[in-house]
Amino acid sequence: MTAPTDILVTLSTFGEYSDEPVRLLEASGLSFKINGSGKRMDPADVIREGGSCRGLVAGVEKYSADTLAQLPGLRCISRVGVGVDAIDLAEAKKRGVAVINTPDEPAQAVAELTLGMILGLLRRLPQLTTLTRDRAWKRMPGNLLAGKTVGLVGLGRIGRRVAGLVQAFSARVIAADPFPDQAWAKDHDVELASFDDLLERSDIVSLHASAGSTKVFIGPAQIDRMKPGAFLINMARGDMVDDNALAQALASGRLAGAGLDVFPQEPYTGPLCDQEAVILTPHEATLNHETRVQMEVKATQGLIRFLKGEDGFNRVA
């Protein structure tokens, strides 16, 4: 009879950029199995490979009530990343399954991509790249970030990093958050505002709200509130933006541009693909060597410590 495995790693790219996460598992004294399929595991794969495991180093695969019921020995899911909305947290709590994540490591990566999108849109890099690649030597005037008002929807770890980056370019920052840290905002020259007020005043609206923290949605009514010629960035959740309404606003010139890393359906093939004034990236804000290694190390360390009854992890449920 095969001995039960303590830890199943579901990520197909685990240890791709550094062997440190694997070395942590090897040194832990716990038994482990790593996804070697080269593809993302679905729930059936997790149940088949990890039916007896006590801990999961998990990606973005879903853990429904039905899936959790078929993992009777599971005691902890350690998410490589921040979002845990793919996990039925109520069912996990009911079954005594802890959920931990790595909230600090992705912040810089997401903030830097946000800044890159803002600068690229202001200087019209998507259009200029297309024109130059097509051998059309045509210059187009852009805009500076300096002096612009950046509205941040969500002032958590990522929103705060973005605030600091755009302020370094002499931009003004206003923010909407359901539970703002008023002392932090005052100390960092960030004006707190309502969501509607932010939409009306911002030259650039950037979404960084967490799932469930507030009812954030950008649809036709919200776009109508935004300043003509404003830009929209979505680095939060794909379902926070009506992509059809956004595509129409871009096509009509109501909005000047948009940058998105998350989409209502992924892989994304919707109407924004046909717009020129957009930067679209395939949900890869944290896909860089440094951040991937940091998240894998932190998730692995956290799970090992949990299973050994130690402290030193971020528990969300």
Tell me the catalytic residues. Answer: 237, 266, 283
Give the relative orientation of helices 125-133 and 107-122 as an angle to the nearest 10 degrees: 60
Whether the CB-CB separation of 142 and 190 falls below 8 Å is answered with no
Distances (CA, A) of 123 to 130, 235, 307: 13, 20, 50
How far apart are the C-alpha atoms of 263 and 240, rounded to whole Å? 9
| Helix, strand, coil percent content, the chain, rounded in steps of 5 | 40, 15, 45
Q: 56: closest CA among 14, 85, 18?
A: 14
Cβ density class 6-20: b for 16+ within 10 Å, e for less: bbbbbbeebbeeeee
236, 208 contact by CB (below 8 A) = yes
* Residues 123 and 179 sit within 8 Å (Cβ to Cβ): no
Under DSSP, is residue 205 helix (H, G, I), strand (E, B) or coil? strand
Parallel/antiparallel/unpaired status of strands 230-234 and 172-176: unpaired
Look at residues 223, 301, 238 and name the one whose alpha carbon lies nearest to residue 270: 238
Phi, psi angle pair for 77, to nearest 5°: -110, 120
CB atoms within 10 A of CB 27: 9
Rounded Cα distance between 76 and 57, Å, is: 9
* CA separation, residue 108 to residues 103, 221, 263, 314 (Å): 11, 32, 21, 18
